[in-house]
Amino acid sequence: MTNTGEVVITASRFRTQAENKEDAVARLVDLLRKAAIRPKYRVGTRPTRASKERRLTSKKVVSNRKKTRGKVSRDD
C-alpha cells in the first residue's frame, strides 16, 4: 500500500505478461476476499477465583517487599 492509499501488487512469477496479470488479479481478489471477512467478536470472560487469588498474593508480596525498603540508619 502506498502513501496515497493505492494497493500495488507486482507479479513476476511467470514468463509472459498475460500470465503475470492473471496472477496479480487473482492475488488481488484473494486479498479483497480476506479483507471482507469480519473478525470474530471476542466475548470477555470473568477472571477465575484462582487467578484473582494469584494476583492478590503477588500484590501482597510486592507490597511487602516495598514496605521493608527504607532508609538505612547510620550507627557510628
pLDDT tens figures, 12-38:
999 999 999 999 999 999 999 999 999
Alpha-carbon distances of 31 from 6, 12, 40, 66, rounded to whole Å: 14, 18, 18, 53
Question: What is the SS3 assignment for the chain?
Answer: CCCCCCCCCCCCCCCCHHHHHHHHHHHHHHHHHHHHCCCCCCCCCCCCHHHHHHHHHHHHHHHHHHHHCCCCCCCC
Is 13 contained in some domain?
A: yes
Q: Could you tell me how far CA 58 lies from the centroid of its own chain? A: 26
Mean pLDDT of the chain: 91
Range of the structural domain that residue 24 is part of: 1-38
Could you tell me the pTM of the whole model? Answer: 0.50
Is 24 contained in some domain?
A: yes
Total number of domains in the chain: 1
Is 64 contained in some domain?
A: no
Is 52 contained in some domain?
A: no
